[in-house]
Amino acid sequence: MKQEELQAIASQLKHPTGEKGIEMANMMNETNINMTKHSIQNLNISNENRILELGHGNAGHVEFLFEQAEKIKYYGLEMSELMFQEARQINRNFVSQKQAFFSLYNGNEIPFEDDFFDKIFTVNTLYFWQKPSELLLEIYRVLKPNGNFCLTFAQEDFMKQLPFTQFEFELYDTEKAQKLIAKTAFKIVYTETQTEKVKSKTGELVDRDYTTIVLEK
């Protein structure tokens, strides 16, 4: 692939737009579904929890989240206007029942008051954080005391093999992520790395190592 094509893929992964963006979102939902479900399960959601997700993509996984407990409320924040619209459409029943709430944000400031959420999670967005330390502090601020934040990302060794990650991606391994977390008051509850088989862009199965870090305020 040419440099421009790789750069275009990186841009779409960071901020999906247009027809290509919808295709990319469907592909991302399919490729990331195991990572996303794993993150949701690690939150140990209880009845009546308020849950925030950063960078939800098309949010095709929200139905799974609502199966975890009763009377929960889901809030999704997204930088992409297209993904905001797609997520609202896919989850229109939850939106109309006032169970799911979607909003746009700038990727730096979280537009909610202090101690608002019981649980927060994000999957495969860490690479695109513009101000990682500041965003972590924002996540800490809006989380209730003793609340959990689940951070899930694919390991740097795997991501480096993907040619488009040379553009717009900041890659992480566990140690680098833990160093970032160490700048905050978060406590690391546990860290787990798993390997799964995923389809590459050329259709073959490859091993992907991904890590989930569960933090507590």
The domains found in the chain, sorted by start residue, are 3-216 (3.40.50.150)
pTM beyond 0.75: yes
pLDDT for the residue numbered 149 = 98
Please determine, for residue 199, whether its predicted confidence score (pLDDT) is greater than 80: no
Q: Strand 50-54 vs strand 73-78: parallel, antiparallel, or unpaired? A: parallel
Summarize pLDDT for 78-110 with one digit per residue, the tens.
999 999 999 999 999 999 999 999 999 999 999
**What gap in Å lies between CA 71 and CA 139, rounded to an integer?**
23
Residue of 7 and 193 predicted with greater confidence: 193
- For residue 46, how far is the Cα from the chain centroid? 20
Cα–Cα distance, 43 to 65 (Å, whole number): 10
Closest by CA to 162, choosing from 19, 31, 29, 18, is 31
Q: How far is CA 29 from the centre of its chain?
A: 11
Give the mean pLDDT of 4-24.
78
Read off the pLDDT band of 127 (50, 70, 90). very high
Which residue has 């689940």 as its token pair?
A: 150
Which among 143-147, 157-161, 169-173 has the top mean pLDDT?
A: 143-147
Longest dimension (CA), the chain: 50
From CA 13, how far away is CA 57, in angstroms rounded? 9
Would you tell me how many other CB atoms lie within 10 Å of the CB of residue 210?
23
Q: Is the pLDDT of residue 72 over 80?
A: yes
CA end-to-end span of the chain, whole Å? 44
Question: From CA 173, how far away is CA 154, in angstroms rounded?
Answer: 8
Q: What is the mean pLDDT of residues 143-168?
A: 92
